[in-house]
Chain A
Amino acid sequence: KNQVEQSPQSLIILEGKNCTLQCNYTVSPFSNLRWYKQDTGRGPVSLTIMTFSENTKSNGRYTATLDADTKQSSLHITASQLSDSASYICVVSANSGAGSYQLTFGKGTKLSVIP
């Protein structure tokens, strides 16, 4: 069964500090992995996409890594800001053939950045 596990479940950090969120998956056959940011009461918004051949990708202060061998991904946030407070969701896509893909969602990590 395809599964995506995220840790920690929640995290509180001081403004300006860095943090790293983890995503472990058992999805096969792997197609890609996305990190989404979901502000409270809003829809998720894509931050990065990682394909099998990519190890690291940055989007501003967000840097995602992927280790396809160990099936792990991380999202590193540098110099956190109050606006980074949100839930961060890891979504892994499996290629189910004939141009069809199955998405498996993690439960998310709730990040709170405090002044």
Chain B
Amino acid sequence: EADIYQTPRYLVIGTGKKITLECSQTMGHDKMYWYQQDPGMELHLIHYSYGVNSTEKGDLSSESTVSRIRTEHFPLTLESARPSHTSQYLCASRDQNTGELFFGEGSRLTVL
């Protein structure tokens, strides 16, 4: 079972609010990722990190930001949420030996 955790699982907020989605893993993986997934659609990479103090934007443009101060922690922040940000956000980390991705349970964000 994967040791990667996301909080909150569900969040409903009003437009303009600042939110942070938390992601933590205890597997010591250097590589971590954030994906955005709309219902019934494919995953889109929005941010990734190859280690502490390393962050890069993914294939899909996103107004969110990320930070990687500690290996185990990779939070995603939206400074001012909008209804267009309503989606599911999936965090993952990657085993550098096998290449396998381990996903968290996801954070479903609804912006009213």
Interface pairs (11), CB distance under 8 Å: A31-B99, A34-B101, A44-B90, A44-B101, A46-B100, A89-B42, A103-B45, A103-B101, A105-B42, A106-B42, A108-B42
Does B103 contact A34, Cβ atoms closer than 8 Å?
A: no
- Expressed in whole angstroms, the Cα–Cα distance for A111 and B40 within the complex equals 11
Please classify the interface of chain A as helix (H, G, I), strand (E, B), loop, or mixed, using the class held by over half of its residues.
strand
Q: Is the CB of B99 within 8 A of A93?
A: yes
Task: Write out the residue numbers on chain B whose beta carbons fall within 8 Å of the beta carbon of A45.
Answer: 2, 103
Contacts of B43 in A (CB 8 A): 44, 89, 105
B side interface size, CB within 8 A: 20
> Is B99 in contact with A107, judged by CB distance below 8 angstroms?
no
Contact B40 A110 (CB under 8 A): yes
B103 touches A41 (CB 8 A): no
* Residues of B69-86 whose CB lies within 8 A of A: none
3 smallest beta-carbon distances between A and B, as pairs: A43-B103, A107-B42, A44-B103
How close is A96's CB to chain B, nearest CB, in angstroms?
12
From residue A28, how far is it (CB to closest CB) to chain B in Å? 17
* Residues 57-115 of A at the B interface (beta carbon under 8 Å): 87, 89, 91, 93, 101, 103, 105-108, 110
CB atoms of A43 and B40 under 8 A apart? no
Q: A105-B42, A107-B42 are in contact. Are A49 and B106 (CB under 8 A)?
A: no
Docked CA distance A43–B89 (Å):
9
Alpha-carbon distance between A93 and B90 when the two chains are bound, in angstroms: 19
| Most chain B CB atoms below 10 A, which of A43, A89, A105 | A43
B41 within 8 A of A: yes
Which chain B residue lies CB-closest to A38?
B103
Q: Does B105 contact A (CB under 8 A)?
A: yes
Q: Is the CB of B105 within 8 A of A43?
A: yes
A91, B99: Cα distance in complex, Å: 11
For A87, give the chain B residue with the smallest CB separation: B40
Contact in complex: A46, B101 (CB < 8 Å): yes
- Cα(A36)–Cα(B102), bound, Å: 10
CB neighbours of A108 from chain B (8 A): 42
